Structure 1
Amino acid sequence: MSEVTVPPAGAVPADANLADLAWDNVAQYPTDVLLSRQVDGKWVDVTAAQFGEDVAAAAKGLIGAGVRPGDRVGVMSHTRYEWTLLDFAIWTAGAVTVPVYETSSAEQVEWVLGNSEAVAVVVEDAALQKTVESVRANLPTLANLWQLEDGAIDKLGELGADVPDGTLDERRHTAGPDDLATIVYTSGTTGRPKGCQLTHRNLYSNVLATAATLSHVFSPGQSTLLFLPLAHVFGRIIQCGSIYSRVRLGHLPNVSDLPTAFAEFSPDFILAVPRVFEKIYTGAQQKARTEGKGGIFDRAERAAIAYSQALDTGRIPVTLKAEHALFDRLVYARLREALGGSCRAVLSGSAPLGERLGHFFRGIGVPVFEGYGLTETSPVATVNTLGQTRIGSVGRPIPGTTVRIAEDTEILIKGEQIFAGYWKNPEATAEAIDSDGWFHTGDLGALDADGYLSITGRKKELIVTAGGKNVAPAVLEDRVRAHGLISQCMVVGDKMPFVAALVTIDEDAFGPWKEKAGKPADATVTDLLDDQDLLAEVQTAIDDANKAVSRAESIRKFRIMPADFTEESGELTPTLKLRRSIVATARAADISALYS
């Protein structure tokens, strides 16, 4: 199969915008609990009416501060109640949200806020305020900077005290479905993040389709604990889908608090990236072996995987049923308890999960519904769901979506969720969306006879770590190569827990460096691979490159190669560009050593 289309599940109202997701609940379900927020270490419920009051006060404050319809407003914070509050307040004021990762470097903050021409930004704490202040001289449009830990929400309330309700209501209806809702900056292969323009229709249609497809979790009375960054569109769609479906939404800023939070909040479903599942699995495995129960865990793992695989056939042997029931009491129940005891579904994306973990978690009673999408698809394009799961695939297209496999096996997508283009970058937009309206994902894949999509490779160079972080290698590689002693650098880390690099030494600069460092004149690079002075010199280049990116994107380890990449070896093109696949194959042992 080369193309599959799933009809829409519902239409975006002609005059709708995302603010309506909250305000419709205020009008129809004012006493329903929409969120829970942590206050003095306890979870406190927030009704639709209370949320509406908070949103109205903050939106009036933005209006009072001079934010106009269509203006861009930045939010730079960990995942917390105020992030969702501000998102809906910005939309209610008719403005556009610009998320900024709280881990961003000063250079990245300057680019995102400057390129988007943000007129205001709300940061979480003094450290983030200091980061913005360090580049504020280069941000001529930035008129307002508020800090959450310094009373930003109260200050907005004061600024909006004299704004009439009628003005707020007028602003709330300013934006239509095809107006801009948010600009989400995503890493590009040139190093500069590109601003994805997502309209209200893009996100609203994705909410409707996702909620219909995953109705067993997106329904009133369910709950979810959100701990992934809201600067990532994956977290934003769960936020919006939860508000739309009246799912009780909780926020957790610090993932190190997950065990306690799971126990206290007891979510019905969660959103996570594969790295989370890997940590849960390895943590349980290591604990079992430490307690002398490694053999039991290994048997329980085999039984869980076999049970899940048998579910696909519809025939579960009696002996396997009995073994599974035994391990459910001994092992699986404890693993489910680690997720709060009520979690019956996990939504996963950003990177491949792998069939082994997919079967393992379904086998213990926590099915992982793996999906696929990009920032440009707002973000969900395909997903596995209850009754329609094929482990190892990323599911079928969500309603209103068409997926096509091009002749070169690139995945092409059409649907209302396809973004409106890159902010101030018509050339990149034209490359991404063709004249027939197909979005070219840059990923390679295949559709089976039933329309399930599998990802087979990556056409573009963007690296996606196991934690789901998108990393553009060019910005790092260019900075590393800027060091006089270094010839080439190739950043690696796709599907790996962190970013690393292979580095080669410039032969012309090597001789002078050896003389200056007091090394033997006849020493080769191979002789000095473990030399502390050489390693320290390369580390200075790595440290400089890391200044341009967030910690999650930074190079954690590097390995010096004994020989340079060359055109003769096939590792460089005639224009001296890296042939990544060839380098990765030729240096596979070195790459493996970085993660051993």
Structure 2
Amino acid sequence: MKFDTIKWIWEVSYRNFEGRATSRRHSYAISGSAPLPPELLQWYRDLGLELLEGYGMTENFSFSHASMPGKCRVGYVGNTWPGVECKIGEHDEIMVRGGGTMKGYHKMPEVTAETITPDGWLRTGDKGSIDEMGRLKITGRIKEMFKTSKGKYVHPVPLENLLNANPYVEMSLVLGLGYPQPVAVIMLAEGLRNRQNDPAVRAEATAALQALLKEINAKVAEFERLDFIVVTKNEWTVDNSMLTPTMKIRRTQIEELYKKQYDAWAASGQKVIWEE
């Protein structure tokens, strides 16, 4: 369906429900709990609905950042609330300080000391950056980072986002602890998975994934460039413990499953490898 048609349907819906809860009196909406893809935020904005994001955590009473109408930037969670400070620490960790920050974890002084600095900064465990207008961008979790054999720290989520935006990819996981370069394992898009043994489908997908690999590697730093892409033969599901009940990938389980095959994959010299 073309975008103009979708926008027309949206506008007609507004007219049909004028005066009700979904009318034009609602000029923006708010999302939290988990980050939304920038493409989705922009899609809603193009429809005329300003979808705003907020950021916070239990440890600071969820009182940290929020996007404001007319001041938001796609992919950013906005500025700090009044009375809240934010800075970027070691390994790009987001650190916040304010009146909503907890005193500590109940009867857990060691964990509290690891989480809150002596001068009151809360270590969020999230990785991010701040733009010239003070708006915060969240790029992932510190614990998801891995160190390559070259001594470089790589954060997998931005690479996975680039992979997942491709129509041939349903889900992906980037791994590379102790490897010279990161590698990606992907689950083929739903419409192709049941046909991935078809030579024609495999040839088409291989060409598309090779192009995707070149495209991604042209955008990222040298130490982040993917060495190759592996197409998994099995679907990742909740039942086989590859996904959580909320459909998030279980990194530890997937990494453990595939790390034994790394040497053979690397030795093959192929840029797109199909798991057999």
1:424 to 1:587, Cα distance in 2 relative to 1, 3 A: farther
Q: Say if 1:371 and 1:380, in contact at 8 Å, map to a contact too.
A: no
Deviations 1:490-518 (A, max 9, x none): xx9xxxxxxxxxxxxxxxxxxxxxxxxxx
- Partner Cα separation in structure 2 for residue 359 and residue 348 of structure 1: 14
The aligned counterpart of 2:46 is 363
**Distance in 1 separating the partners of 2:31 and 2:82:** 18
3-state DSSP of counterpart to 2:110: helix
Residue 340 (structure 1) aligned with residue 22 (structure 2): yes
Spell out the pairing of 1:177-192 with structure 2 (5 A cutoff). none
> For residue 384 of structure 1, what is the aligned residue in structure 2?
67
- Secondary structure at 2:123's aligned position in 1? strand
Q: CA–CA distance in 1 between the matches of 2:274 and 2:13?
A: 36
Whole-angstrom distance in 2 between the partners of 1:377 and 1:413: 8
Give, in whole Å, the separation in 2 of the partners of 1:589 and 1:350. Answer: 35
Write out per-residue CA displacement over residues 241-282 of structure 1, whole angstroms, 9 at most, x where no aligned residue: xxxxxxxxxxxxxxxxxxxxxxxxxxxxxxxxxxxxxxxxxx
Change (3 A) 1:458 1:429: same
Which amino acid counterpart does residue 110 of structure 2 have in structure 1?
E
Tell me the amino acid that sits aligned with residue 83 of structure 2. G
Q: Provide the rounded CA distance (Å) in 2 between the counterparts of 1:437 and 1:565.
A: 40
- Report the RMSD for the aligned CA atoms in angstroms: 4.5
Counterpart residue type for residue 426 of structure 1? P
SS in 2 for 1:446: strand
Tell me whether 1:299 sits opposite 2:4 in the alignment.
yes
- In 2, Cα distance between equivalents of 1:362 and 1:422: 40
Aligned residues with identical type, % of pairs: 33
Question: With structure 2 as the length reference, what TM-score do the two structures score?
Answer: 0.51
Matches within 5 A, 1:536-547: 542=241
Match of 2:115 among 414, 432, 437: 432
Contiguous gaps of at least 5 residues in structure 1: 1-293, 305-325, 465-491, 493-528, 531-537, 570-585, 591-596
SS in 2 for 1:360: helix
Letter in 1 for 2:49: V
| 1:446/1:453 contact within 8 Å kept | yes
- Residue 399 of structure 1 aligns with which residue? 82
3-state secondary structure, aligned to 1:380: coil
CA contact (8 A) 2:91 2:142 kept: no
Kept in 2: contact 1:332–1:365 (CA 8 A): no
Matched, 1:353 2:36: yes
Query: Structure 1 residues 346 and 425 mapped into 2: Cα distance closer, same or farther (>3 Å)?
Result: same
Alignment of 1:23-102 (within 5 A): none
Contact 2:97 2:121 in 1 (8 A): yes
State the one-letter code of the partner of 1:383. Answer: A
Map 1:353-502; keep pairs closer than 5 Å.
353-461=36-144
Bigger Cα Rg: 1
- Residue 410 and residue 424 in structure 1: after superposition, are their counterparts in 2 closer, same or farther (change >3 A)? same
- The residue aligned with 2:148 is none
Aligned ranges for residues 113-132 of structure 1 at < 5 Å? none
The 3-state SS of whatever aligns with 2:259 is: coil
Q: CA deviation at 1:415?
A: 0.2
Offset, 1:334 = 6.2
Deviation at 1:327, TM superposition (A): 6.5
Asked whether the 8 Å contact 2:84–2:97 carries over to 1, the reply is yes
In the alignment, the residues of structure 2 paired with residue 458 and residue 336 of structure 1 have an alpha-carbon distance, to the nearest angstrom, of 42
Output the TM-score relative to the length of structure 1.
Answer: 0.25
- How far residue 421 of structure 1 moved from its aligned partner, in angstroms, is 1.4
